[in-house]
Amino acid sequence: MLELTVNLDERSYPIYIGPSILQQTGLLLEHIGDCRPIIITNDTIAPLYLDNVMALLAEVNPLSFIIPDGEQFKSLEWFEKISAFLLENNCGRDTCLIALGGGVVGDLTGFVAACYQRGVPFIQVPTTLLSQVDSSVGGKTAVNHPLGKNMIGAFYQPQAVFIDTESLHTLPTREFAAGMAEVIKYGLIYDTELFRFLENNLKQLKALDEEILQHVIYRCCEIKALIVAEDEKEAGLRALLNLGHTFAHAIEAQMGYGKWLHGEAVATGMVLAAKLAHTRGDLTAQQVTRICDLITRYDLPTNIPENMTSEQFLHHMRKDKKNKKGTIRFILPTKFGQCALVDDVSDQHVRDLIEQ
C-alpha cells in the first residue's frame, strides 16, 4: 500500500493507494471515528461493492443511498434527495458520508457533506480511474446546472481518500480510457517524465499491471496534492489543472451531460488547447502531433462533436468559472510539462480554431 498526504494544516488528510484497500476495516473505521456512516453510491457500483462495504462497517450500523448512474444525475434534484434521506433518518452532525463511486458520486456526496447542517465529514472511495487520479483529491465538490457544469458547489476537503486499485478490474474500457485523459493532462502540465512513461507503458497500463497502475495513480495524486496545498481555492496555480477543460465543459454542456464522458471531452479539449498554443508559437507542430498521438493511442477522441459550431463553443465558454470581467481565459501549454493561464485569446481565434 502506498500513502501520501494532502498538506492543508488542520485539514490535511491521507490518500491510501493499493489493492484490497477496502478490506482494511480498521483503517476505514479509524477515519469514521464516532460518526454514523452513510454510504452514497450509484446503481452500477452498488451490486459490485456496496454489500462488502456495508459488511465491513456492520458494527457501526451504516446506511446507504443509491443514485442512478450518469453525469445528468449530478444535479440539485439529487442533492435534495440525498439531503432529504439524511433528514428522514435523523442524521446529525455526527454523520460521516462515504462516497463510493466515480466522479459524479464523489462530487455530489462532497457537496451534500459541505452543506448538510453546515458541514459533516466525508470520505472518498473512488472506483474509476478518473476519480482516483483527479476528482477525489482536492476538495472540489459541485453539481451541474443546465446552463453550466459544476457551477454550484463548494471547496470542501474529505477526511481521507481510499483508492482500491482492484476496483479498476470492473471498470468498462471506455471509462478507463476517459480516466487516462486526466493522467495525460498531468504529464502535459507538470511532468514530462510521466508523459514519456505513458508513451512507453501503454500495454501494461491497459492490461492493468498493478505496479504500473500504482505508480501512475500515486504520481497524479502527488502532483495534485502539491498544487492543492499551494493553492487550495484556485486563486492561481490550481487553475492549471483545468487544461482542456474550457473546451471540454462546453462540449459536455452542448451535447448534454453524459453523452460524452468527462474524460473524452477533456481529451478533445487538450488537443484544441495544444493547437491553439501552436498558433501562438508556443508548441511546435511535432509536439502537437505527439500529444494527439498519445491521446489516440489511449482510445480517446481528438475531434470536436460533429455539427458543434464555434458560436456554440463561445456561448458556453463565456460562462466558464475562470473568466474575469467577461474575458474568456484559457489554460494553454507553453511547452511540455508547463502551462499558463492566458486571457488574450480573441473570439476570432476560437472561431478559426474550431472551423479548421
Active-site annotation holder among 219, 262, 275, 278:
262
Among the listed residues 31, 185, 215, 249, the single catalytic one is 249
Residue holding cell 456492520? Answer: 58
CA–CA separation, 288 and 79 (whole Å): 40
Q: What is each CA distance from 33 to 11, 96, 204, 277, in whole angstroms?
A: 16, 9, 38, 49
C-alpha span between 157 and 136 (Å, rounded): 9
**Known catalytic residue: 182?**
yes
81 is catalytic: no
Catalytic residue flag (residue 140): yes
Grid coordinates representing 82 are 440525498
Q: Can 201 be counted among the known catalytic residues?
A: no
221/149 Cα distance (integer angstroms): 23
State the catalytic residue, choosing from 31, 36, 74, 140.
140
Active-site residue identified among 238, 275, 278, 316: 238
31 is catalytic: no
State the catalytic residue, choosing from 71, 182, 222, 232: 182
Please say if 166 is a catalytic residue: no
Q: Any catalytic annotation for residue 262?
A: yes
- Which of 245, 275, 278, 329 is labelled catalytic? 245
Q: Considering 234, 252, 264, 275, which one is annotated as catalytic?
A: 234
Note if 316 is an active site residue. Answer: no
d(CA 184, CA 349): 25
Number of other residues whose CB lies within 10 A of the CB of residue 56: 18
96, amino acid identity = C
Q: Which three cell numbers stand for residue 100?
A: 463510493
CB atoms within 10 A of CB 350: 22
Burial track 309-345 (b if 16+ CB lie within 10 A, e otherwise): ebebbeebbebbbbeeeeebbbbbbeebbebeebeeb
Q: Positive or negative, the Cα torsion across 293, 299, 300, 302?
A: positive
Residues carrying an active site annotation: 118, 140, 182, 224, 234, 238, 242, 245, 249, 262
